[in-house]
Structure 1
Amino acid sequence: MEFDATWMLLGLPLAFVLGWLASRFDLRQLRAENRRAPKAYFKGLNFLLNEQQDQAIDAFIEAVQNDPDTSELHFALGNLFRRRGEYDRAVRVHEHLLSRGDLTPADRERAQHALALDFLKAGLLDRAEDALNRLEGTPFEAQARLALLAIYERSRDWSHAASIAQKMHAADQGDFSTRQAHYLCEQALALSVQGDRAGAKALLEQAIAAAPDAARARIELARLQQLMGQPDAVLATLQTLGERAPAALPLAAPLLVEAGNATGRQAEVHARLVAHYEQSPSLDVLESIVAMEAANDATQATARARYVQHLDKERSLVAAAKWLSAEKLEHEEFHPQIQRALEHAVKPLTRYRCAACGFEARQHFWQCPGCQTWDSYPARRVEEL
């Protein structure tokens, strides 16, 4: 059968027309999809600005379905899920992003950081730790290290916390010397409980070397020296404390009195406390002075007068209640009830208060139990603030 060239001449224009029609159809479909995606995106943005998060999420999901390769929409959607507390959905969004092979290195690091935040918010600390460690060497490194530090502090993993703090200090990401000293003190306390006092002492000496002007390490060392039966060493340590961190001396005043009594150097300790009190009146230092003078028959009257003298300097309900407790009243039969009422009224004034969050406690903390901030408790009672 001979080939008829006429069919070729007719077929070529037909194929061209069909191809042109197909391309126009695809172009129209593409334009329609592109119109739908921005429309859904802007609709979601409008809902978000109006704080209508449920409608915003629905709109963003529609936009992602129309254009699943848009990474910015995935990030927006994941952040919305996290803000709403839907951490499992946020994790799925960011894990999907990380599984994509076409993601740029910058977006991959951003997705890794977002995933770490998802795990942190969800309380999955082990998975958050792993995700944060993957951010080493990225632009999110500093934020990741801070988050890791918080994780290790929360879990009381002081050795790992010290390692991270050392890295941040070496990288000029802040002064973490005092924080490192706290970690060493925490480890020293653990060793002391286990009976390894020599090891605890070595760690406390490292803490003093790391932060010479920090108060905690010297106070903890003085307490350890007292347990080891070294009152002279206690006095030497607390003398240095008074020179390097005088504001913290009220926390160690009772310990100073005990060491003075144990060494027979009461006069020296009394003079030191009085000198500190004259420079910076404090209830704890006042109590220690009164305790020393009340133990001596020759100064018992002077001891009670200290409270009145304190009232000349400070308007202290605590000092007034202390003075009134030993005072004779006209109607002495009512004295116990009055004293109980006063003691109940002054009890909140003798607490310590966190300067960061306002959490109050009967004892002084180096790290606030409420907000986890270090050194946020002043060495003064609520009444003195």
Structure 2
Amino acid sequence: MELDLTWLLWGLPLAFALGWLASRLDLRQWRMESRQTPKAYFRGLNHLLNEQQDQAIDAFIEAVQGDPDTAELHFALGNLFRRRGDYDRAVRVHEHLLARADIGRKDRDRAQHALALDFLKAGLLDRAESALHKLEGSAYEGEALMALLSIAERSRDWPQAQILAQRLEDTHQGSFTPRLAHYLCEEAELAMSQGDAAEAQRLLNKAVERAPQMVRGWMALSALKAQQGDTKGAFDTLLQLVRHAPQGFPLAARPIADLSIATGRQQEAIALLNEAQAHGPSLDITEALATLSGSATAARRHYLSHLEREPSLVAATQWLAGETLSDPAAQKRVQAALEHAAAPLKRYRCAACGFEARQHFWHCPGCQSWDSYPARRVEEL
């Protein structure tokens, strides 16, 4: 019996035509879906550029629903939630990414880092710390160590902060010597509050040995010696400050003047202060010289000398305080107005965030930066 192959001649072209038609239908469907996602995505970008975060979030949610497998859209959505302060939703997005089995190690580490930032921004320090520890050995290890260091500082866990700062320095993430010295000073303050002056002095000696260019260690060590009655040692410590950290001279000017009176070394202090003043006028140095001048008239001459070199409302107010006007009542009101206007100029200002304060801070309470306060007042900047 001969096999009839006629049906093959008709069947093969028909199968080819049906397959081609099916592929065209699938391609058309794919194109329709792919058009929808970019539209939502670009709409979200447009809202971001216009700083419309709520509308951008809605657009990215639409894009994610259209293409749930796109990790980049999830990252963008999670970061937007965090920036808006919606930390719960940011955490859910990044935890969803971590739960997926189809993302690579790089994206997994990125999601873990983003999750840690969510917890950190939300103030959940224990959960942030746990998430950051999981980044050890990843490309985000350096950033994780910096975040852990920030947590240790906020928690005032200075021994742990020292360990982390030393690790960062050992891995060439920058120089952390000044911070390590600050941590020793913080521990010394704690020891002093507990009545352990010997331990405080040991820590401060270690701080100035580690970072002799740092002002705080010398200032704290001098104050400790003065508190213990060793005024000569306190004065000599400030002389060490002048040699090793001259940028901090304005902060040390008044203590130098006070200690010189206690030790009978006024002439030595006056010579030191005049030499510093010759290099650049400073309100604190002028006030220290006025303190050592011995008379109100001589003190006013120092303020006048300051005004000759540099205009200063603070110095002018101090000079006018010694003047006698024909109308005492008017002079009192004028003096009060000048002191009120000059008060903000006596403040210190953080160079990192602009936070102003009456006292000098080693650690900015606004932005948490170290050594961001110059030794000079606002009027002198």
Pairwise TM-score range, normalised by the shorter structure = 0.7 to 0.9
What is the rounded CA distance, in whole Å, between the counterparts of 1:55 and 1:343 in structure 2?
A: 51
Bigger mean CA offset, 71-80 vs 195-204: 71-80
- Is 1:315 the counterpart of 2:311? The answer is yes
Contact 1:44 1:55 in 2 (8 A): no
Contact 1:307 1:322 in 2 (8 A): yes
- Is 1:303 the counterpart of 2:299? The answer is yes
The correspondence of residues 21-60 of structure 1 with structure 2, limited to 5 A, is 31=27, 34-35=30-31, 37-51=33-47, 53-54=53-54, 56-60=56-60
- Is 1:228 the counterpart of 2:228? The answer is yes
- Is 1:383 the counterpart of 2:374? The answer is no
Residue of structure 2 equivalent to 1:77: 77
Residue of structure 2 equivalent to 1:332: 328
Residue of structure 2 equivalent to 1:154: 154
Which TM-score applies when normalising by structure 2? 0.88
Residue of structure 2 equivalent to 1:86: 86
RMSD: 2.9
- Is 1:170 the counterpart of 2:166? The answer is no
Gaps of 5+ in 1: 1-15
Contact 1:46 1:56 in 2 (8 A): no
Contact 2:181 2:210 in 1 (8 A): yes
**Amino acid aligned to 2:342:** V
Within the candidate set 366, 371, 382, 2:367 is matched to 371
Secondary structure, in 3 states, of the residue corresponding to 2:301?
Answer: helix
**Amino acid aligned to 1:311:** L
Residue 315 (structure 1) shift: 0.7
Contact 1:215 1:241 in 2 (8 A): yes
- Is 1:277 the counterpart of 2:271? The answer is no
Gaps of 5+ in 2: 1-11
Kindly provide the CA deviation profile for residues 332-371 of structure 1, in whole angstroms up to 9, marking residues without a partner as x: 3422112111111111111111122222111111122222
What is the rounded CA distance, in whole Å, between the counterparts of 1:22 and 1:89 in structure 2?
A: 47
Residue of structure 1 equivalent to 2:3: none
Residue of structure 2 equivalent to 1:361: 357
Residue of structure 1 equivalent to 2:347: 351
The correspondence of residues 91-170 of structure 1 with structure 2, limited to 5 A, is 91-170=91-170
Contact 2:188 2:199 in 1 (8 A): yes
Bigger mean CA offset, 278-287 vs 72-81: 72-81
Residue 32 (structure 1) shift: 6.3
What is the rounded CA distance, in whole Å, between the counterparts of 2:325 and 2:212 in structure 1?
A: 50
Question: CA distance change for structure 1 residues 308 and 55 in 2, over 3 Å: closer, same or farther?
Answer: closer
Question: CA distance change for structure 1 residues 382 and 129 in 2, over 3 Å: closer, same or farther?
Answer: same
Contact 1:364 1:377 in 2 (8 A): yes
**Amino acid aligned to 1:201:** Q
Question: CA distance change for structure 1 residues 44 and 56 in 2, over 3 Å: closer, same or farther?
Answer: farther
Kindly provide the CA deviation profile for residues 207-243 of structure 1, in whole angstroms up to 9, marking residues without a partner as x: 2122121111111111111111111111121111101
Residue of structure 1 equivalent to 2:264: 264
Contact 1:40 1:62 in 2 (8 A): no
Kindly provide the CA deviation profile for residues 71-121 of structure 1, in whole angstroms up to 9, marking residues without a partner as x: 333323323332333221221121122122333211211111111122122
What is the rounded CA distance, in whole Å, between the counterparts of 1:375 and 1:219 in structure 2?
A: 14
**Amino acid aligned to 1:250:** P
**Amino acid aligned to 2:203:** L
Contact 1:225 1:234 in 2 (8 A): yes
**Amino acid aligned to 2:333:** Q
What is the rounded CA distance, in whole Å, between the counterparts of 1:303 and 1:66 in structure 2?
A: 78
Residue of structure 2 equivalent to 1:4: none
What is the rounded CA distance, in whole Å, between the counterparts of 1:22 and 1:109 in structure 2?
A: 46
**Amino acid aligned to 2:245:** A
**Amino acid aligned to 1:94:** H
What is the rounded CA distance, in whole Å, between the counterparts of 1:59 and 1:383 in structure 2?
A: 49
Kindly provide the CA deviation profile for residues 168-191 of structure 1, in whole angstroms up to 9, marking residues without a partner as x: 111111111111111111111111
Contact 2:37 2:67 in 1 (8 A): no
Residue of structure 2 equivalent to 1:7: none
Secondary structure, in 3 states, of the residue corresponding to 1:50?
Answer: helix
Contact 1:44 1:56 in 2 (8 A): no
Which TM-score applies when normalising by structure 1? 0.87
Kindly provide the CA deviation profile for residues 140-196 of structure 1, in whole angstroms up to 9, marking residues without a partner as x: 111112222222222222222222111111111111111111111111111111111
What is the rounded CA distance, in whole Å, between the counterparts of 2:95 and 2:244 in structure 1?
A: 51
Bigger mean CA offset, 94-103 vs 245-254: 94-103
Contact 1:231 1:263 in 2 (8 A): yes
**Amino acid aligned to 1:369:** P
Contact 2:40 2:62 in 1 (8 A): no
Residue 37 (structure 1) shift: 4.4
Instruction: Provide the aligned length of Structure 1 versus Structure 2.
Output: 371
Contact 2:296 2:322 in 1 (8 A): no
**Amino acid aligned to 2:120:** L
What is the rounded CA distance, in whole Å, between the counterparts of 2:29 and 2:211 in structure 1?
A: 63
Contact 1:329 1:335 in 2 (8 A): yes
Residue 28 (structure 1) shift: 7.5
Contact 1:204 1:220 in 2 (8 A): yes
